Amino acid sequence: MLRLASDGKEHSLAESRNWLAEHFSLPATDVSQLLPSGRQTVLANRAAWAKVYLTRAGVLESPRRGHFRIAERGREVLRHPPERIDIKFLEQFPEFNAFRERKRDLAVVEPAAGESDLETPEEQLEDAHSKMRDELAGEILTRVKAAPPDSFERLVVELLLKMGYGGSRREAGRAIGRAGDEGIDGTISEDRLGLEMIYLQAKRWEGTVGRPEIQRFVGALHGRRARKGVFLTTGAFSAEAREYVAHIDPKVVLIDGKQLSELMMDFEVGVTTVATYHVKKIDSDYFSEE
């Protein structure tokens, strides 16, 4: 980015992204790669933070929003270019250290020394969030497996209701609480009017559910002339089982233990929110001239 600005002209962030992609010969898959939130590309995020850090260090100037040009300090850096411009290099400038101190006061995530210097604050936050979700998902699954069998039925009822299936809680409970019938544990309406029924198989398994178990479930669906089914398990599904349901009619959805725990987190079944962090950005309309 500093080399791009070396011509002394004003450049936009959008222009820099294209230039950087070409400079590093990035394939299209890298250029379009999104952050875990899906709201911004990794390239756009890193380019924006590169501008922020270089501007805060006095290496670049920001004449207006989303634009930059080289500063005299930047010209001096290019006269004796380092092998790499990273946080450690920028720490020689007092303005940058003051900026980092303000970030610490505001409890903004700072990169640790080493490889994490390559991650932007958004990437660090999303990486930390992803790790926390993975840890919580494992704990949820452990609790579900250790709970009494009837609590698993109640859990499935609660989850499906939160996802918008079934009618009232009482109706959903009756539907899924029936004894197994030829591989079917119960039914629940797809909508509140009961226009279509979804047939369910909900099993707590420690191991892998293979194709034969799924075939028995599908056979039961055919016997009921059912068009939709959901097979839930605390275990996993074999590759053959997943391949099988991908090419059959009726439509069958497989939900393994990992996905079950993720759905429980997303729809807040058995979990509670303990903290919320809001990530803000500038409202350009507020600051724009009328």
Residue 124 lies in a domain: no
Same domain as 108, residue 20: yes
74 vs 52: CA distance, rounded Å: 14
**95 in the same domain as 7:** yes
Are residues 8 and 55 both part of a single domain? yes
User: For residue range 148-168, what is the model confidence (pLDDT) as tens digits?
Assistant: 877 887 788 888 888 888 766
Long-range contacts of 80-86 (CB under 8 A, 24+ apart): 85/2, 85/54, 86/117
Q: Rounded to two decimals, what is the model's pTM?
A: 0.62
Instruction: Look at residue 274 and tell me if it is in a domain.
Output: no
Q: What is the DSSP string of 219-251?
A: HHHHHTT-SEEEEEESSEE-HHHHHHHTT-SSE
Kindly state whether residues 114 and 166 are assigned to the same domain: no
Domain with 226 in it:
148-266
pLDDT in tens, the chain (290 residues): 999 999 999 999 999 999 999 999 999 999 999 887 787 899 998 998 899 899 989 999 988 878 999 999 999 999 999 999 999 999 999 989 888 887 555 444 444 434 345 677 887 888 788 878 888 888 888 888 888 877 887 788 888 888 888 766 666 655 554 544 455 677 888 877 777 888 888 888 888 999 999 999 999 899 888 899 999 999 999 999 999 999 998 899 999 999 999 999 999 998 988 888 788 877 766 766 54
- What pLDDT shows up at residue 174? 56
Give the pLDDT of residue 12: 93
CB atoms near residue 215 (< 10 Å): 15
Do 115 and 168 sit in the same domain of this protein?
no
Q: Are residues 26 and 97 in the same domain?
A: yes
Are 85 and 5 within 8 A, CB to CB? no
User: Pairing mode, if any, of strands 67-70 and 60-61?
Assistant: antiparallel
Residue 128 lies in a domain: no
Tell me which DSSP letter residue 34 carries.
Answer: B
Q: How many domains does the chain have?
A: 2
Q: Is the same domain home to 165 and 58?
A: no
